[in-house]
Chains A and B, each alone.
Chain A
């Protein structure tokens, strides 16, 4: 579903942020990108979601590339980052309607989808309140509802549970597992070990723009000769990080 082949990204001539990353994510799989701050996770996520172009290499989403089928790719992906802040004076209702219009969702389908989505995340009581009046968790739920308004087969989540309380976090992770069961391909970037351990079928560890280890949680523990996933991460990081 998602295939990255030897992807490089440089912002300046003398520094490469992403250094030849390749991996594949299949349908019904949650793929985790784990790494410290500055490892290149967000850059990679932005390239997969077509917000940035790789300097070299290819990124395919369901066999499509952004050079030729950009808008078709956009119909297939849902991108969410915890950094997105919605317009403070809009209401969830208006935002949902606006994005539904951009995604060409027919009017007769719109109300049904809205009701379903709002009910799932408990948005209904706040549907006509201004975003500025809502809590961080509620805003994140609205962001998720809007990102997945078109029911995309590929979901890209950049640090989805950052800054959320335990309850909201749990709701989000449960939802991700449910989407996985439905066959969605999900890429998740995080630096929270428990989230990665609980959700991801496969994890790539990104250090200084390179994937230094890749596999299931157990495989990574075995590679790093560690008894916990956290220790495995640190061992691999120390081994590959260049000061």
Chain B
């Protein structure tokens, strides 16, 4: 064991003797990731609207119920609002040029209206329920919400749809609760929302943020981990063999198994540390996103319980071991550095594809997916964020990935020893 630690310490020493190498492995990927998470939405916005800033949603003649709804609903606070009266809106439309320019830059307008002969929006809804509950089945409400945006702007269109789905539908249900609740058949509110309970509030944030994280975080972690494993295996195995330094190590009175074990231990430790730093930064990124930018890939409030966190923390080194085994197997099968480099990069395509599939996936994983090495880690982390993991899934992923890693390493080293 002491010889394994000697090699392990040597590899760490090598890494930290070059601050550039250390930064490239530990911080650069995470920093680049942070930057891209924030720049990517901005770029899409710029390409679509010609502006980096997102326009606030313009709310015309907002009723009190809408103010209250925004105040008390996490999903609704994702957007920035600008409230104006109908008169202000009219003068805005009259200044045609500026209005058209704003629309082109992604402005979304949400107008609350009722028939001019009727009272305000809230009263109109309240009257409607009163009519309904007094037995008038043909009661009609003239209250309407109009959403306007530039149909040529992809961002505006998608934001308007998101706003409709994420805010207005919830608001619509809220109206039944707030304004129609007293008149419902059972005589009580349809929805119980404890707006004063911080735990409930926090849970609401967490649900939204973790659902987004389940799409983004696992794929990102897998790509980052593979990038690190690939760089380290290239350096510690392929490059050292190419330089002849490996031969020098292999003729010391330390068994091959111990030398390789020391190197593998170093790779798994470095990659795990790098993944933990990345994860920490992802959490940090979520928790500083208090303004909840609608385009952000990581909304505010991402959180794992201690047991969920432990599940992910254990999955990372096991997966790093499997990735290392695969990279070593590729390295030992090939001789020329150029071939090795190209072949080591190939799995990155798989991880990228898996990442994007996860991003846009609308279904939950099927059991069979837990039997696919590495893909199962992605699903495990994703399901952990969704708080949907089953214990046997977790154990299966750990055991399967570890077993496959050990088998690949044994096979590779046995083959190499026979040469």
Q: Which of B1-49 contact A (CB under 8 A)?
A: 3, 6-7, 10, 13-14, 17-18, 21
| B245 surroundings in chain A (CB, below 8 A) | 84-87
Given A53-B418, A84-B243, A85-B243: A102 touches B17 (CB 8 Å cut-off)? no
Instruction: Judge whether B419 is part of the interface by a CB distance below 8 angstroms.
Output: yes
Give the dominant DSSP class at B's interface: helix
| B6 surroundings in chain A (CB, below 8 A) | 98, 101-102
Contact A49 B244 (CB under 8 A): no
| A87 surroundings in chain B (CB, below 8 A) | 14, 240, 243, 245
| B244 surroundings in chain A (CB, below 8 A) | 81, 83-85
Q: Compute how far the CA of A85 lies from the CA of B246 in the bound complex, rounded to whole angstroms.
A: 10
Q: Compute how far the CA of A51 lies from the CA of B244 in the bound complex, rounded to whole angstroms.
A: 11
Given A71-B255, A98-B10: A89 touches B18 (CB 8 Å cut-off)? yes
Q: Which of B245-268 contact A (CB under 8 A)?
A: 245, 247-255
Given A81-B244, A85-B245: A104 touches B253 (CB 8 Å cut-off)? yes
* Number of residues from A at the complex interface, CB < 8 A: 31
Q: Which of A41-100 contact B (CB under 8 A)?
A: 46, 49-53, 70-72, 74-75, 77, 79, 81, 83-87, 89-90, 94, 98-99
Instruction: Judge whether A23 is part of the interface by a CB distance below 8 angstroms.
Output: no
**Residue of B240, B243, B251 touching A51 (CB-CB under 8 A):** B251
Nearest Cβ on chain A to B239's Cβ, whole angstroms: 9
Nearest Cβ on chain A to B171's Cβ, whole angstroms: 61
Q: Mark B217-229, 1 if CB is under 8 A from A, else 0.
A: 0000000000000
Q: Compute how far the CA of A50 lies from the CA of B251 in the bound complex, rounded to whole angstroms.
A: 7
Instruction: Judge whether A103 is part of the interface by a CB distance below 8 angstroms.
Output: yes
**Residue of A94, A102, A130, A146 touching B254 (CB-CB under 8 A):** A102
Q: Report which B residues bind A (CB closer than 8 A).
A: 3, 6-7, 10, 13-14, 17-18, 21, 240, 243-245, 247-255, 418-419
Can you pick out 15 interface pairs between chain A and chain B where the beta carbons lie within 8 Å of each other?
A: A53-B419, A70-B255, A74-B253, A74-B254, A81-B244, A83-B244, A85-B244, A87-B14, A87-B245, A89-B17, A89-B18, A90-B14, A99-B252, A102-B249, A102-B254
Q: Report which A residues bind B (CB closer than 8 A).
A: 46, 49-53, 70-72, 74-75, 77, 79, 81, 83-87, 89-90, 94, 98-99, 101-104, 130, 146-147
